[in-house]
Amino acid sequence: MHRPKRLTITAAVAAAAALVLTGCSGGGASDDASTGTSKGGTLDILTAQTALHWDPATSQSLGITSMGLVARRLTTWDVQPGKTAKVVPDLATTTGESSDGGKTWTYTLKDGLKFQDGTPITTKDIKWGIERSFAPNLTGGLSYHKSLLVGGSDYQGPFEGKTLDSIETPDDKTIVFKLDAPYGDWPWLASMPAFAPVPEGEGTDTGAYDAKPVSSGPYQIESNTQGSQVTLVRNKEWSAKTDSIRTAGPSKIVFKESQDASTTTQSLIADNGDAKNSFGAQFLGAAELNQVRANPAAQDRLATSKAGPITYMAINTQRGKLADLEVRQALQYAVDRKSFRIAAGGALAGEYASTLVTPGIAGRKDYDLYKTGATGDVDKAKQLLQEAGATDLRLTLVTQNDPTYLAQAQALQAGLERAGITVTLKPLDYDSFTQATTNGTDFDLSLSSWQPDFPSANANIQPLYDSSQIGGGGYNVSKYSNPEVDALIAKATGTVDQSEAQQLWAQADRRTMEDAPVVPLIYAKQSFLAGSNVENFRIADFPAYPNYLKVSLAQ
């Protein structure tokens, strides 16, 4: 997640702007006719985060955002507006050759790959980088691969001299992965941060490496002052001949940390000085969007995603009356999605949701098992509660203690109370909220959001609804367990043919919603603001973020 990636991790769900764009691009001549990318200038990226993680072992950065500027992986993402996201080779020559029914995946490195010091990148560096991600003191990164590699569940990393034998490097160009079971989405996993090369033997001082890793991408870290700024400059050893995804437009990129969201928005609206060459890394909340709506010139510099990340109300299926399917079905009808969307920022905050697989994901099937108007069906909800003997339902809804989340939670509270359901709100700070929902069970409902880590239905379904993800920091916050769904997930996960896998994921989606473990609310749209000199500031159909790897500055 784990982002959004998962929205519960990074920020409140944002409203979309009055002017909907798939992206925006400033003017300016280009000196690279083949890519339409101007070269030069200093790009400022303004973020509210107080520290950015640059260690591939601990990063949750999406493939097209910050880490992608510094660290290449075996594969990466080709994302463009109006097109389905594709996995494509990055350091490797292919997206992976599978054998043994999908239990073995083999990659060959491209020629001419180098670290920032000119040292050739070998498969031993990739193996070392992945092994580091298993170290107990390197936590928080995307960890799908850890449970899939043979021996991964017991491996504790390479710092004590032990290797993971299921990662083989027969020569400097070839790397082979041995999995416990077939996994059709392994090419997507090979695009995760942990699959970036780390020079073999380096990164034992984990704090230092997190601040200043060895670069394999078009930029390297020149300086890093935590809480203040991180400055990236060109990596002269990077070659565009081996990289078809990154355009490396700006000469320098500066991440300015600890930025106040409102101040950042006001600065970008004013569009003076350095703000012309800047964009905001956080998507805009309702308050910030209202500021942009008041300025037509600023609206022209706004990039808004299509509907994508899902916002939903999770139902603790193992708690009290909520274990009864009829009660959970009653909640589907009792919710007032219209009021919820208004609280999220208005009609353009997103589209009403009914499925678990989100828009922009290949193979998604649209359906609605609980058809009702946007305001719900209170009479139907009351009928179901009556039949279930739950006419005096009292529930606790946990949410993040943030103005946007609180407004949305209050809309849910009011909607449910129309059906005679008493709802008590329990606002928590982010860390407490995450702990309460992923490890705890002392709640009835949770206002949650999810941005898949990679564009496959797998990343929508398995982390949220597989029973193995209950507790222990897993994101099955509904505590949902159904052996039939688990079996569908396992079968889909192990299917290498993607068209077949997509059909299985669609079945898992629908079968899960038959049990009503969550109430889908909206597929959120996310808006980002840039200065007038920022070019190629676009948001593809997935993910709902600007593609940092393509952004440039007018010259």
- Give the domain CATH number at 315: 3.10.105.10
Other beta carbons within 10 angstroms of residue 114's beta carbon come to 17
Q: Tell me the CATH number at 165.
A: 3.40.190.10
With respect to residue 546, please indicate whether it lies within any of the assigned structural domains.
Answer: no
65: alpha, beta or left? (left if phi > 0; alpha if psi -120 to 50): beta
Point out which residues pair with 427 in neighbouring strands.
399
Q: Does this model's pTM top 0.85?
A: yes
Per-residue pLDDT of the chain (555 residues; tens, 9 = 90+): 333 333 333 333 332 322 223 333 333 333 343 457 899 999 999 999 988 989 999 998 889 999 999 999 999 999 998 888 999 999 999 999 999 999 999 999 999 999 999 999 999 999 999 999 999 999 888 889 999 999 999 999 999 999 999 999 999 999 999 999 999 999 999 999 999 999 999 999 999 999 999 999 999 999 999 899 999 999 999 999 999 999 999 999 999 999 998 899 999 999 999 999 999 999 888 788 888 989 999 999 999 999 999 999 999 999 999 999 999 999 999 999 999 999 988 877 899 999 999 998 989 999 999 999 999 999 999 999 999 999 999 999 999 998 889 999 999 999 999 999 999 999 999 889 999 999 999 999 999 999 999 999 999 999 999 999 999 888 999 999 999 999 999 999 999 999 999 999 999 999 999 999 999 999 999 999 999 999 999 999 899 999 999 999 999
Residue 325 and residue 441 in one domain = yes
The rounded Cα 188 to chain-centroid distance in angstroms is 13
Domain range spanning residue 176? 51-223
Specify if 241 maps to a domain: no
Domain count, the chain: 2
Identify whether residues 191 and 314 lie together within a single domain.
no
Return the HEC string of 207-268. HHHHHCCCCCCCEEEEEEECCCEEEEEECCCCCHHHCCCCCCCCCEEEEECCCCHHHHHHHH
Task: Say if 265 falls within a structural domain.
Answer: no
| 436 domain residue, yes or no | yes
Instruction: Give the separation between CA 111 and CA 107, rounded to whole angstroms.
Output: 13
Half-sphere exposure of 225 (CA within 13 A, CB side): 6
Domain end (from 165, 197, 223):
223
**Which residues have a Cβ under 8 Å from the Cβ of 12 and sit 6 or more positions away?**
285, 400, 402, 403, 404, 405, 408
Residue 129 falls within a domain, yes or no? yes
Last residue of a domain, one of 223, 250, 278: 223
Q: How many residues does the chain have?
A: 555
Per-residue tokens: 419: 């059906």
* CA 123/CA 104 separation, integer angstroms: 16
74 and 196 inside one domain: yes
Confirm whether 438 is domain-assigned: yes
The alpha carbon of 226 is separated from its chain's Cα centroid by a whole number of angstroms, namely 23
Same domain, 217 and 327: no
- Specify burial of residue 483 (Cβ count, 10 A radius: 0-12, 13-18, 19+): exposed
Q: Answer with the one of 223, 248, 267 that is the final residue of a domain.
A: 223
Are 212 and 317 in a shared domain? no
Strand partners, 229: 225, 256
The reply to whether 442 falls in a domain is yes
Task: Answer yes or no: do 389 and 492 share one domain.
Answer: yes
Co-location of 368 and 499 in the same domain:
yes
Domain-embedded: residue 451: yes
